[in-house]
A and B are shown apart, each in its own frame.
Chain A
């Protein structure tokens, strides 16, 4: 599998504040990758380093085999809060995209705007949050990038707009096979669209992998109290909690758990992410479980 993004010891500091420290990770190409982590984990900084808006303080980053720089035709980026020019109309934005991008796909842009029902003569400043995000996404994908980066694109949207945005993104990615990396602090958003997940807590990758694989290999085991170390090989305990008589473990295991003394439950993606965040010592529950 080729990597869309490779970082080695990537560090970004603003003065004395460290936004991302010593981050080493690979993001595979050809996937819709979800980058999840609590606020302040460094997701935004990582994405801005990836598109070249920021330069690393230390460490290395390679995107599609090159050091990233802004103005690259190969990258599309939808920034946090999906900025657009408030006093330019929707049509102006498409013209702006066409003027500034040699690979501009005019038909795609116009089709999307028509499908979304956006009025081309409407000023972008008067659009709703969802429409604005859709316009920003249209600009990013009509550029025909090889890698599309989205920084919390739906954070400010209501549930309906959120669903529409993610559907649009998903159908585009499925049709074109574009690599997508999308960050969110809400697992529920990523669950719908992503087939690959990276959990980033405090600049560290806690777990990464295919969503199906993650779902298939993680189990919650409940049984009489015992030492988690006695589980046997091939089983990694992610999280353990004990009462006087009972133990509850979150376990990553490639082999099925067939010990009859355990009750085994499947976990959903959110439970898995939470377990890794708890392992990392953050109070992920406060931040990640904002279900809307």
Chain B
């Protein structure tokens, strides 16, 4: 059975290997220069003024090649679950059912359970190893740039760094297999698989991930020096946001509260702030400072990265295992 799995899958396996080696080679070739720059810019072991150092470093390191590689590496990991689900998962059973070859293979001396288990485990492991290799290389190579940019705890990078790409890719494969055997048509299964995986990739970061850890809440007196954005309407209502209290964190919420504990919306004194105020920005800031406002924010700090990664990987692999078991059950009982 292992021989058949390999024989039917070897072309795809080679494509995956070539793809992984190409990415690894391109990143390894450009890594020394990037890492040197990271050291020499001072960002690597900065203790103060890190924001400015980061900006300088990102501009210096942002050669066209590096920008492309950064984008390709991140995109490869974000697209891998869908690609694996569409091209490896969805047709795996659906194509056999379409061409009737399941009637050939199931009448050899091999049980359906062993047939599906060998394929699920064999191709599933290939998927996991490919994702692990690509993610390891990309995470290693992109670390300096991630440090200089938003930070890898941020939702747009988190799914493409560390160990969670393994979980997403494995889940994509298992979902593709199950959808394929339920729909019994490769093309339809590919479309539905794509939809399902995109849904998971959006839903997990924005609705699930924050529940895997306890976010940090902070309440600090509002500091007018720290205003990030400010908007005043004609009816003297105001929206004001202060900059995030910690750098590199994944900010879940950040609101400015009034003395009553509700989100502060004014009204404000038009003589102090606004288009008719005489004192300008400085006067307005001073005025806002006297209003007894509080900045309340919740966030997930950057140092939670690995614990959150392992928890999310655990969640994804659990769902993958459930989908795999459902496939085994369905093949053994329902499909003919």
Residues of A within 8 A of B (CB): 48, 51, 53-55, 69-73, 75-77, 79-81, 83-86, 88, 92, 95-97, 99-103, 136, 139-140, 143
A-B pairs, top 5 by smallest CB distance, nearest first, are A79-B103, A100-B108, A83-B100, A71-B111, A77-B107
- In angstroms, how far is the closest chain A Cβ from the Cβ of B101? 5
- In angstroms, how far is the closest chain B Cβ from the Cβ of A69? 8
- On whether the beta carbons of B4 and A73 are closer than 8 Å, the reply is no
- On whether the beta carbons of B100 and A70 are closer than 8 Å, the reply is no
Given known A-B contacts A55-B336, A95-B3, A100-B4, A83 and B104 have beta carbons under 8 A apart? yes
- On whether the beta carbons of B3 and A96 are closer than 8 Å, the reply is yes
Query: Which residues of chain B are near A97, meaning CB under 8 Å?
Result: 108
Give the residues from 96 to 139 in chain B that come closer than 8 angstroms, CB to CB, to chain A: 99-101, 103-112, 114
**Extra contacts besides A77-B107, A85-B8, A143-B109 (6): CB < 8 Å:** A53-B106, A71-B109, A75-B107, A81-B100, A84-B101, A102-B109
- In angstroms, how far is the closest chain B Cβ from the Cβ of A63? 13
B108's contact among A71, A85, A88, A92, by CB below 8 Å, is which? A71
- In angstroms, how far is the closest chain A Cβ from the Cβ of B116? 12
B1 interface residue (CB < 8 Å to A) = yes
User: What is the CA–CA distance of A48 and B107 in the complex, to the nearest angstrom?
Assistant: 10
- On whether the beta carbons of A88 and B109 are closer than 8 Å, the reply is no
Q: Which residue of B lies closest to A125 (CB)?
A: B99
A100's contact among B1, B100, B112, B333, by CB below 8 Å, is which? B1
User: What is the CA–CA distance of A96 and B111 in the complex, to the nearest angstrom?
Assistant: 15
Query: Which residues of chain A are near B111, meaning CB under 8 Å?
Result: 69-71
User: What is the CA–CA distance of A127 and B314 in the complex, to the nearest angstrom?
Assistant: 48
| Of A81, A83, A95, most B-chain CB atoms within 10 Å | A83
- On whether the beta carbons of B109 and A79 are closer than 8 Å, the reply is no
- On whether the beta carbons of B3 and A99 are closer than 8 Å, the reply is yes
- On whether the beta carbons of B104 and A76 are closer than 8 Å, the reply is no
Query: Which residues of chain B are near A75, meaning CB under 8 Å?
Result: 107
B64 interface residue (CB < 8 Å to A) = no
> Secondary structure at chain B's binding surface: helix, strand, loop or mixed?
helix
Query: Which residues of chain B are near A80, meaning CB under 8 Å?
Result: 100
Query: Which residues of chain A are near B107, meaning CB under 8 Å?
Result: 51, 53, 70-71, 75-77, 79, 140
- On whether the beta carbons of A96 and B4 are closer than 8 Å, the reply is yes
B7 interface residue (CB < 8 Å to A) = yes
- On whether the beta carbons of B106 and A70 are closer than 8 Å, the reply is yes
- On whether the beta carbons of A143 and B101 are closer than 8 Å, the reply is no
User: What is the CA–CA distance of A84 and B96 in the complex, to the nearest angstrom?
Assistant: 10
- On whether the beta carbons of A83 and B1 are closer than 8 Å, the reply is no
- On whether the beta carbons of A70 and B112 are closer than 8 Å, the reply is yes
- On whether the beta carbons of B108 and A83 are closer than 8 Å, the reply is no
- In angstroms, how far is the closest chain A Cβ from the Cβ of B336? 5
B99's contact among A51, A86, A140, by CB below 8 Å, is which? A86
Query: Which residues of chain B are near A96, meaning CB under 8 Å?
Result: 3-4, 7, 108
Count class of interface residues, chain B: 20 to 34
> Secondary structure at chain A's binding surface: helix, strand, loop or mixed?
loop
Query: Which residues of chain B are near A53, meaning CB under 8 Å?
Result: 103, 106-107, 336
Query: Which residues of chain B are near A86, meaning CB under 8 Å?
Result: 99
- In angstroms, how far is the closest chain B Cβ from the Cβ of A17? 14
Q: Which residue of A lies closest to B335 (CB)?
A: A53
Given known A-B contacts A53-B336, A71-B109, A71-B110, A88 and B104 have beta carbons under 8 A apart? no
- In angstroms, how far is the closest chain B Cβ from the Cβ of A204? 23
Can you give 8 A-B contacts (C-beta < 8 A)? A53-B103, A71-B110, A71-B114, A77-B103, A83-B101, A88-B7, A96-B3, A102-B109
Query: Which residues of chain A are near B106, meaning CB under 8 Å?
Result: 53, 70-71
- In angstroms, how far is the closest chain B Cβ from the Cβ of A26? 23
Query: Which residues of chain B are near A136, meaning CB under 8 Å?
Result: 104
| Of B4, B7, B108, B336, most A-chain CB atoms within 10 Å | B108
Query: Which residues of chain A are near B109, meaning CB under 8 Å?
Result: 71-73, 100-103, 143
- On whether the beta carbons of A71 and B336 are closer than 8 Å, the reply is no
> B313-336, CB under 8 A of A: which get 1 and which 0?
000000000000000000001001
User: What is the CA–CA distance of A119 and B133 in the complex, to the nearest angstrom?
Assistant: 41
Query: Which residues of chain B are near A77, meaning CB under 8 Å?
Result: 103, 107
- On whether the beta carbons of A54 and B336 are closer than 8 Å, the reply is yes
User: What is the CA–CA distance of A80 and B106 in the complex, to the nearest angstrom?
Assistant: 14
Given known A-B contacts A53-B336, A83-B99, A92-B7, A101 and B108 have beta carbons under 8 A apart? yes
- On whether the beta carbons of A79 and B100 are closer than 8 Å, the reply is yes
Query: Which residues of chain A are near B1, meaning CB under 8 Å?
Result: 99-100
Query: Which residues of chain B are near A102, meaning CB under 8 Å?
Result: 109
Q: Which residue of A lies closest to B115 (CB)?
A: A71
Q: Which residue of B lies closest to A101 (CB)?
A: B109
User: What is the CA–CA distance of A73 and B104 in the complex, to the nearest angstrom?
Assistant: 13
Q: Which residue of A lies closest to B7 (CB)?
A: A92
Query: Which residues of chain A are near B105, meaning CB under 8 Å?
Result: 100
> B207-251, CB under 8 A of A: which get 1 and which 0?
000000000000000000000000000000000000000000000
Q: Which residue of A lies closest to B103 (CB)?
A: A79
- On whether the beta carbons of A71 and B112 are closer than 8 Å, the reply is yes
Query: Which residues of chain B are near A54, meaning CB under 8 Å?
Result: 336
Query: Which residues of chain A are near B336, meaning CB under 8 Å?
Result: 48, 53-55
User: What is the CA–CA distance of A248 and B246 in the complex, to the nearest angstrom?
Assistant: 102
User: What is the CA–CA distance of A100 and B111 in the complex, to the nearest angstrom?
Assistant: 10
Query: Which residues of chain B are near A48, meaning CB under 8 Å?
Result: 103, 336
Q: Which residue of A lies closest to B113 (CB)?
A: A71
- In angstroms, how far is the closest chain B Cβ from the Cβ of A75? 7
User: What is the CA–CA distance of A103 and B108 in the complex, to the nearest angstrom?
Assistant: 10
Q: Which residue of A lies closest to B105 (CB)?
A: A100
